[in-house]
Structure 1
Amino acid sequence: MVDPQRQRIHPVEVEARPPHPTAPLVPPGSFRSEKGNPVQVHRHPPPPHAIPATIHSPPPKRSYFCKCICWTLTLLILILILLAASAGILYLIFKPKLPNYSVNSLRITDLRLNFDMSLYAKFDVKITADNPNKKIGIYYEKGGKLSVWYTKTMLCEGSLPQFYQGHQNRTVLNVALTGQVQGGSTLMAALQQQQQTGRVPLDLNIHAPVAIKLGRLKLRKVRVLGKCQLVVDSLSSNNLISIKASNCKFRMKL
């Protein structure tokens, strides 16, 4: 049995250990080379927060349509303004006036019933065409017509001659009119009954395609439309008929 007093405790040298490192010897992201030296890997910082690009959506088709309509209307208004201004300037310079027509005489050379009961009529009409314009000439083109009507029935028709009428000129025209109307027996009876009163109403219609000349410029063709309401005393053939009343109105149509 060992004497406790003799038991001795010999101190043991404890090898000092280096303190526990607080940071890794090799920084994160490094790796060792074959020689044991750490190689530093450079990491690029993360890109900043990307700002999304603004995407402009195309305007709706309706806006394009509205813009197109607005531009078209604006252009039309400008054109109308220019045309109105040009027409106003021309009017002030040339001061246009409608031509006048008057019936000088009316002669019935033939008015009879045929065997087929159609009514044949042949008239000779003398009219005066008056151009009152000082700076405008008138070209009477092909296709002009002169016709005589009783109520709503055309008795006869003839062609106007082609000619040029100068400034402030009066021209006398002799026009031969012929026509044939079916069912003439009823029409002839109405004319004879009207003739007994001494007042026979007739309408003289004028359709004249003309071209206006402004200085040296010849404009496009227009139409002069006229109507003369006549009252004659009789419808006797081969006699000069007396015109008791005459009322003429004219207008120009493009």
Structure 2
Amino acid sequence: MADHQRQRIHPAADVVALPTTPLVPRGTSPSDKGIRIQHLPPLQRAMPAIRATPTKNRSCCCKCVCWTISLIVLLLIAIAATAGILYLVFKPKLPNYSIDNLRISDLRLNFDMTLYAKFDVIFTANNPNKKIGIYYKKGGKLSVWYTKTKLCEGSLPVFYQGHQNKTMLNVALTGQSQHGNTLMTALQEQQQMGRIPLDLKVHAPMAIRLGKLQLRKVKVLGECLLVVDSLSTNNLISIKASNCKFRLKL
């Protein structure tokens, strides 16, 4: 059979190679000259991140902090419990004071126009506690003020006051004040009305004694607002009104 006939019966299929299309960057055309065809690498699978495990140092630090906080809490609980027991056993009360007598020994103007004042104050210190003693330490002060001007000041004695004890104290106070002429005029005007307001301030450092145990030093701050009828010298002055308040300062 001729070759021409064979081809007509069984035509031979021509194998044509498919052209490979190069990857062209977006925004360019294959006809651009000088373009360089690059083959992109295959996609890489993202590897999951491995979390770092906590170190032993961090664990030890956390334990130390927890132990420290626990010890502090236990210490505070122990202190509070001890204070509560002491309060229930001794039932502490603040000492109080009352002004009994007030005498003016001297009140005059100096040549430099300062006001010189000398007062004698008799007051009672009362310790109402049944199981607590009080040591009055050095540095205690008693002062007399008119409005915001200190007229005179004196020192409190150093002594020990026992349980439920009342002690009468006589304190001499002296002092000089500026603007004496103005002060004297104001005091004389108040005396004409028969009502002179005075302010007595107490500053008493003391130590508390519980049985045989002496505690740290504390301070009692007191203030007595007085109204007297006169400021005449060498005479007992009538106290028309008295209002005293005291507080404890650690």
Q: Normalised by the size of structure 2, how large is the TM-score? A: 0.75
Pairing of 1:136-147 with structure 2 (within 5 A):
136-147=132-143
Q: What's 1:9 paired with?
A: none
Of the two, which has the highest radius of gyration? 1
1:162 corresponds, among 145, 153, 158, to: 158
Pairing of 1:211-226 with structure 2 (within 5 A):
211-226=207-222
Q: What's 2:118 paired with?
A: 122
Q: Normalised by the size of structure 1, how large is the TM-score? A: 0.74
Note the C-alpha offset of 1:239. 1.0
Q: Deviation digits for residues 10-42 of structure 1, max 9, x if unmatched?
A: xxxxxxxxxxxxxxxxxxxxxxxxxxxxxxxxx
- When residues 183 and 85 of structure 1 are mapped into structure 2, their CA distance, relative to the original with a 3 A threshold, is same
Q: Which moved more, 1:178-187 or 1:157-166?
A: 178-187
Q: Does 1:149 align with 2:145?
A: yes
1:173 corresponds, among 169, 175, 178, to: 169
The residue identity in structure 2 corresponding to 1:209 is P
Note the C-alpha offset of 1:176. 0.1
Note the C-alpha offset of 1:78. 2.0
1:202 corresponds, among 193, 198, 203, to: 198
User: 3-state DSSP class of the match of 2:130?
Assistant: coil
The residue identity in structure 2 corresponding to 1:58 is T
Taking the aligned partners of 2:60 and 2:155, their CA distance within structure 1 comes to 56
Pairing of 1:73-88 with structure 2 (within 5 A):
73-88=69-84
- When residues 73 and 200 of structure 1 are mapped into structure 2, their CA distance, relative to the original with a 3 A threshold, is farther
- When residues 66 and 244 of structure 1 are mapped into structure 2, their CA distance, relative to the original with a 3 A threshold, is farther
Q: Which runs of 5+ in 2 are unaligned?
A: 1-51
Q: Deviation digits for residues 192-239 of structure 1, max 9, x if unmatched?
A: 111111111111000011111111111111001110010000111111
2:55 corresponds, among 45, 55, 58, to: 58
Q: Which runs of 5+ in 1 are unaligned?
A: 1-54
The residue identity in structure 1 corresponding to 2:213 is L
The residue identity in structure 2 corresponding to 1:76 is I
Greater share of helix: 2
